[in-house]
Amino acid sequence: MNIELRPADGQLAPTLAATAHVVAELVHACHEKSIDQGLAALAIPGLDRETLEPILTYCAELRCEADNATCPGCKRRTEAQGITTVDEFIARHHEIIVGDGKVRLVGQGEGTLHTPALSALEKTWSGQNYWFWARRVLRKLRHGVRRAHIQGSAVAPAGETPAIILVEPQLADNIGMVARAMANFGIDELRLVAPRDGWPNDKARIAASGANYVIDDAQAYATFADSIADLNWVAATTARQRDLRKPVLTPEETIAEIKKRTARGERCGILFGRERNGLETDEIANADAIVMIPVNSRFASLNLAQATLLLGYEWMRNSEEASLGRVTTYEQPLQSGLYLNQDRPATKAEMNALFAHLEAELERLGFFNPPHKRPTVVRNIRTMLGRMQATEQEVRTLRGIVATLAQGKGHGRKSPL
């Protein structure tokens, strides 16, 4: 499909031939969701994966510069206009309407702009880096989604781990990070209630960073009721106190209850609310218990992945599947405590030989002075070195240090006294 240059907001903009869509609209649609979902939302006749590529290439390679054209909302446009501050941006408009219109910013230019809040205007006034987005989408179009080749598998049969239920998640990136946290701690079942950006979603797969099996098996539900219909017991996470007569549990108590019920054959789930405002009280009313995580009372909000991680940690803790760190061909399972690898703790005979060596050299060099305090000093030295719980290798190293300090080494060896 050809690109034509047409006026838009007083400047030339690269526009798809025979349509009113500027290039930035296509880039935004395919970057915000998956490529196929973006194309379906645009529904432009003749626009498919094959015809999309040259359009993305035009934007990614900044060919618009040679055409002296820019898209509305692109950072290149504000740069071309010489706008360097938000004050200059406001001055370029006739009026900027904030929110419901109670606040209006009046400038000296033309056109009216709507913004949901002043904070949003502060972040977005300079425009988007659409050429950078185009490069990302182009890479996915040509090479597929990163880490798509990585496969994993559930660590437990269906129903033996709690279902993680995200109610109306707003960002696909958060869904992916939740999936990654679940995979970290052996929780496999992810349920989504009316995800804002649709499902499946490539951005969630990228954010999952290899936890693809959780993403691939995730189920999307149209309603909250459908998502919990087959469960026997559900816990709802919240940071706010609710006027509901329900058990309030810590993560540790919640997981203990879930493990007890799962052992009886019950299906359990944990509810997480929207990024913006969490779960609604009516949704919590459908749960059997409330989960509240110990936090700083003055800053209690956790993001979805953090909250999932904390519950997941409790699930994996004391489990037979738990491992301190990863286990690979070259890395064996670890236990807490002193890591010795191939080394071993020193024997008492080796420690006593070290003490005798050290004390002999100190005696020779006149350290024990006055002599009557020698027994006390020796006891203190032995107590101090004994606390280190040295390994066999460490004892040999210490004896080498004592010998070098006493006699020197190589060219630094001292002459006999």
CATH code: domain of residue 167: 3.40.1280.10
pLDDT tens track for 56-66: 999 999 999 99
Q: Which of 36-45, 74-83, 202-211, 314-323 has the lowest mean pLDDT?
A: 314-323
Query: For residue 183, how far is the Cα from the chain centroid?
Result: 12
The backbone torsions φ and ψ at residue 164, rounded to the nearest 5 degrees and listed phi first, read -90, 120
Neighbours of 384 (CB within 10 A): 9
| Band of pLDDT at residue 2, cut at 50, 70 and 90 | confident
The mean pLDDT value for 302-307 works out to 93
150 belongs to a structural domain: no
154 belongs to a structural domain: no
Choose the final residue of a domain: 294, 316, 338: 316
- Peptide bond preceding 200: is omega within 30 degrees of 0, i.e. cis? yes
**Residue 173: both structure tokens together:** 């990136």
Structural domain total, the chain: 4
| Band of pLDDT at residue 408, cut at 50, 70 and 90 | confident
pLDDT at 165 over 90: yes
Whether 368 and 408 share a structural domain: yes
Reference 173, options 148, 207, 145, 201; nearest CA is 207
Which pLDDT value is given to residue 377? 94
Whether 174 and 304 share a structural domain: yes
43 belongs to a structural domain: yes
Which pLDDT value is given to residue 336? 64
Which pLDDT value is given to residue 177? 95
Whether 197 and 307 share a structural domain: yes
The mean pLDDT value for 349-359 works out to 95
371 belongs to a structural domain: yes
pLDDT at 334 over 60: no
Whether 217 and 278 share a structural domain: yes
341 belongs to a structural domain: no
Torsion of CA 231, 235, 240, 243, to 10 degrees: 80
d(CA 185, CA 323): 10
3-state secondary structure the chain: CCEEEEEECCEEEEEECCCCCEHHHHHHHHHHCCHHHHHHHHCCCCCCHHHHHHHHHHHHCCHHHCCCCCCCCEHHHHHHCCCCCHHHHHHCCCEEEECCCCEEEECCCCCEEEECCHHHHHHHCCCECHHHHHHHHHHHHHHCCCCCCCCCCCCCCCCCCCEEEEECCCCHHHHHHHHHHHHHCCCCCEEEECCCCCCCCHHHHHHCCCCHHHHHHCEEECCHHHHHCCCCEEEEECCCCCCCCCCEECHHHHHHHHHHHHHCCCCEEEEECECCCECCHHHHHCCCEEECCCCCCCCCCCCHHHHHHHHHHHHHCCCCCCCCCCCCCCCCCCCCCCCCCCCCECCHHHHHHHHHHHHHHHHHCCCCCCHHHHHHHHHHHHHHHHCCCCEHHHHHHHHHHHHHHHHCCHHHCCCCC
Whether 112 and 130 share a structural domain: no
Q: Which domain holds residue 76?
A: 1-83+126-144
Whether 136 and 174 share a structural domain: no
Whether 15 and 130 share a structural domain: yes
Whether 66 and 92 share a structural domain: no
Choose the final residue of a domain: 296, 316, 336: 316
Whether 292 and 182 share a structural domain: yes
Rounded mean pLDDT of the chain? 87
pLDDT at 234 over 70: yes
pLDDT tens track for 112-122: 888 888 888 88
pTM exceeding 0.85: no
d(CA 108, CA 103): 17
252 belongs to a structural domain: yes
377 belongs to a structural domain: yes
Whether 72 and 205 share a structural domain: no
The mean pLDDT value for 185-195 works out to 94
pLDDT at 77 over 70: yes
Sheet holding 103-106, edge to edge: 103-106, 95-98, 112-115
Regarding predicted confidence, which is higher, 167 or 324? Answer: 167
Regarding predicted confidence, which is higher, 81 or 342? Answer: 81
Whether 212 and 136 share a structural domain: no
Which pLDDT value is given to residue 118? 87
238 neighbors 281 (Cβ within 8 angstroms): no
Which pLDDT value is given to residue 54? 92
Which pLDDT value is given to residue 201? 87
Whether 29 and 98 share a structural domain: no
Regarding predicted confidence, which is higher, 141 or 224? Answer: 224
| Band of pLDDT at residue 279, cut at 50, 70 and 90 | very high
57 belongs to a structural domain: yes
